[in-house]
Structure 1
């Protein structure tokens, strides 16, 4: 096999590098988490609402600071943020567009968790693959009709969910839907979450059992035709269907073929939960801070709005001025620290130079003094010039020889030789006299140095008939 030349890339390698470039997801990414302390039911509502937006909701980022989210929203493609908070008055839900707003504040009138909804169903759906694709949005809100606050709400809801093109969308992949209905009389938004099932029409219940792959119990029938033609085997859905629930679903015959066969089917919706009924309370221009565009209760006159705008502008200028002052103070502090560091380093260098010069001068003076007093030049080893902070090699060798000699002359304790006696003529193995004790026959406190019996003599003075008790000795 021929070897590939070095320094030359294959054409396929260059194309593969270009294909591995990072591509941002086109679907919106929503963050759903709580703000402050919540009750157990409200905390469950937060997790249920996060499931509605899956897989476009971030599950691992449950709580974080808003400033941190704003700083990373662009590189991580976070588009919306949903906050749930609870006060003594009620429960509030805020929907924010990242990173600059606007912010919609809703007050929750009533809600039901997914567990409460699923407990009412006779047959609970347990297909986890439904949450691998985002839900489709169904709403009666219009972008071009109604009041301005309703138009803005409709735009916010539409941007939260992935867009679906009817001509190119895969109908089999859409298995969930989110219904947002606006009641104009009560001014309430109702949230519902359903799973979608498409059931073909014109099939009996017996044929549906065979189509699912399950083999029914045929022990009571002599022929399979009896099972198929048995009365009462019509499906329950066919009795409830009406022409309004019938849809025509296109099914492709094969891969790459443009011709498609159509069949009639009925649509079944199963509620998954949660349920929410909310009221639009306030709309702010910025990210939870800005000009109030709409308020449900408080109404401002044009003069009051102008005054609020001026106050907000003054606050913004003051904040920018403080920010500039802080940056200036930080630069001045870093400059002072750098000057102090250079000053300390210069002082350390000067100290080392002065120390080296002083040692040289002292050694020169000692040699000159020796020459003047004795009349001869001193030996080179006597006043050897060494660098400051380092030990002389001769001193180290002398000290080592002394340690070796001391170790060799050291005698074991209890030896009788007199060669190792110290200056006071006491053997190393014998105890030295102590002050304040009397030896021999005398008793009482003595003054001055008094002779003391050695350890061997004390042991001989003990009568032979008595036995001494040893410490830490246990008889078995």
Structure 2
């Protein structure tokens, strides 16, 4: 029997997208050094968050250096590098904007993996199709730009915005909005909270029991928890049972389940502008939107912002324990443990970085001049070699003259007696040779 050919694909709704454009940011998420199994799993979870615009199957080797990724990234049009490392104090995260920087260094205060979130939640379930489209970024609790705003926060917001694709409401397809990444700023602790949610759309205006009947009646998969009404005498007993009344198994309904059965608030309901992924989610219908957290979850503390990339770092833009902003701006927004730098120290640091940049520029110009000089000298040497080499006509004349000399007789040349005797011996030997008789065949 011939093998059945597969004619359909799994790309439905917002999953079928156009090819990646050049303006979409791409990223490498790696672990650097010995980090352990938990941080390694956190790296894999972060790759799922940034899919499909990240290298989800990237394999690091122990001999790979950070410089290897920095050199390879521009060739693959990678715009960001997220490196996780493990320090004696806590895990750390560096976000590098390629290829000119800046570099943001975070200390991971606390984190939870995807498996931890799913084990503690009754609702959150990830099917896997949500990761075929990029997530939506939501920035919350960041102070608006003002003279009293800490100057490093706008740069922090722009850095997070550059990691995710830009959002265009005019061209965004509703079915492609499947996930949300929430990044909120905690002003009391001075940390940044990272959350990852999946968007769920449910029928609005019906109780949980009616919704379970509707979903169970139209569900064709027998292994997905179809509602069992075999112990009920009538469907009305299931629909009209009040809280506290015993069920068919003798149990009572919990307060949590009764709270979920109440219809949601009008503020939680929206009218679908387009067809959305899921059963009966058609355009114009009223649906309740809910966010289910799937992880990972991180609490980040910004430690340092530097110019450039690792290995080619420039000046320190911000540092938790002493920063240039401490001199230029007010220090009341910084932690109490912040170490202040004097104007003299800040000027000396700026002068050192300026001298390094100047020396680097001079060396680069010198290398370019050396390359040009070597290229010019090689051209002149090749031209001189062509001029010094004899032409083809001259070589032919020399060869012909040599052949003529071989055929001419030199009258001044003397022949010794030994040579004459040799000639006579040759002639006599030729005369003494017997002649060969020629035989004729008769016809």
TM range, smaller chain: 0.5 to 0.7
Q: 1:297 aligns with which of 321, 344, 354?
A: 321
How much does 1:173 deviate? 3.5
Give the secondary-structure state (helix, strand or coil) at the position aligned to 1:197. strand
Partner Cα distance (1:368, 1:301) in 2? 102
Indicate if the aligned counterparts of 1:194 and 1:273 stay in contact, CA closer than 8 A.
Answer: yes
Partner Cα distance (2:398, 2:109) in 1? 87
Give the secondary-structure state (helix, strand or coil) at the position aligned to 2:134. coil
Q: Which residues of structure 2 form unaligned runs of 5+?
A: 1-18, 61-67, 277-281, 323-339, 416-443
What is aligned with 1:144?
Answer: 145
Q: 2:213 aligns with which of 206, 210, 215?
A: 206
Residues 331 and 140 (structure 1 numbering): CA distance in 2 closer, same or farther, change over 3 Å?
same
Partner Cα distance (1:370, 1:124) in 2? 115
What is aligned with 1:328?
Answer: 369
Give the secondary-structure state (helix, strand or coil) at the position aligned to 1:109. strand
What is aligned with 1:248?
Answer: 269
How much does 1:283 deviate? 1.7
Indicate if the aligned counterparts of 1:29 and 1:80 stay in contact, CA closer than 8 A.
Answer: yes
| Higher Cα radius of gyration | 1
Partner Cα distance (1:132, 1:237) in 2? 33
Give RMSD over aligned pairs: 4.3
Partner Cα distance (2:59, 2:274) in 1? 45
Partner Cα distance (2:318, 2:72) in 1? 28
Q: Which residues of structure 1 form unaligned runs of 5+?
A: 1-21, 375-476
Partner Cα distance (1:352, 1:44) in 2? 77
Partner Cα distance (1:337, 1:168) in 2? 56
Residues 103 and 227 (structure 1 numbering): CA distance in 2 closer, same or farther, change over 3 Å?
same
What is aligned with 1:184?
Answer: 187
Q: 1:273 aligns with which of 295, 302, 317?
A: 295
Q: 2:42 aligns with which of 45, 65, 73?
A: 45
What is aligned with 1:158?
Answer: 161
Partner Cα distance (2:399, 2:23) in 1? 76
- Number of residue-to-residue matches in the alignment: 346
Give the secondary-structure state (helix, strand or coil) at the position aligned to 2:371. helix
- 1:55-204 equivalences in 2 (<5 Å): 55-59=52-56, 64-69=68-73, 71-72=74-75, 76=77, 78-121=78-121, 125-138=125-138, 139-144=140-145, 146-164=149-167, 171-201=174-204, 202-203=206-207, 204=209
Q: TM-score, normalised by structure 1?
A: 0.59
How much does 1:26 deviate? 5.2
How much does 1:190 deviate? 2.0
What is aligned with 1:282?
Answer: 304
Indicate if the aligned counterparts of 1:133 and 1:173 stay in contact, CA closer than 8 A.
Answer: yes
Residues 251 and 190 (structure 1 numbering): CA distance in 2 closer, same or farther, change over 3 Å?
closer
How much does 1:161 deviate? 2.9
What is aligned with 2:259?
Answer: 239
Indicate if the aligned counterparts of 1:285 and 1:293 stay in contact, CA closer than 8 A.
Answer: yes
Indicate if the aligned counterparts of 1:96 and 1:287 stay in contact, CA closer than 8 A.
Answer: yes
Partner Cα distance (1:156, 1:173) in 2? 23
Partner Cα distance (1:250, 1:194) in 2? 21
Give the secondary-structure state (helix, strand or coil) at the position aligned to 2:408. helix
Partner Cα distance (1:367, 1:252) in 2? 107
Give the secondary-structure state (helix, strand or coil) at the position aligned to 1:101. coil
How much does 1:106 deviate? 0.8
Partner Cα distance (2:126, 2:386) in 1? 72
Deviations 1:87-145 (A, max 9, x none): 44543222233444333211122323323433445576241211122222332223426
Partner Cα distance (2:403, 2:156) in 1? 90
Deviations 1:34-92 (A, max 9, x none): 445543432332222122122233446677442553x558xx4x544323334445432
Q: Which moved more, 1:83-92 or 1:344-353?
A: 344-353
Give the secondary-structure state (helix, strand or coil) at the position aligned to 1:56. coil
Partner Cα distance (2:124, 2:283) in 1? 33
How much does 1:371 deviate? 11
Residues 280 and 360 (structure 1 numbering): CA distance in 2 closer, same or farther, change over 3 Å?
same
How much does 1:356 deviate? 7.0
Indicate if the aligned counterparts of 1:206 and 1:227 stay in contact, CA closer than 8 A.
Answer: no
How much does 1:347 deviate? 6.2
How much does 1:296 deviate? 0.5
Partner Cα distance (2:233, 2:20) in 1? 62
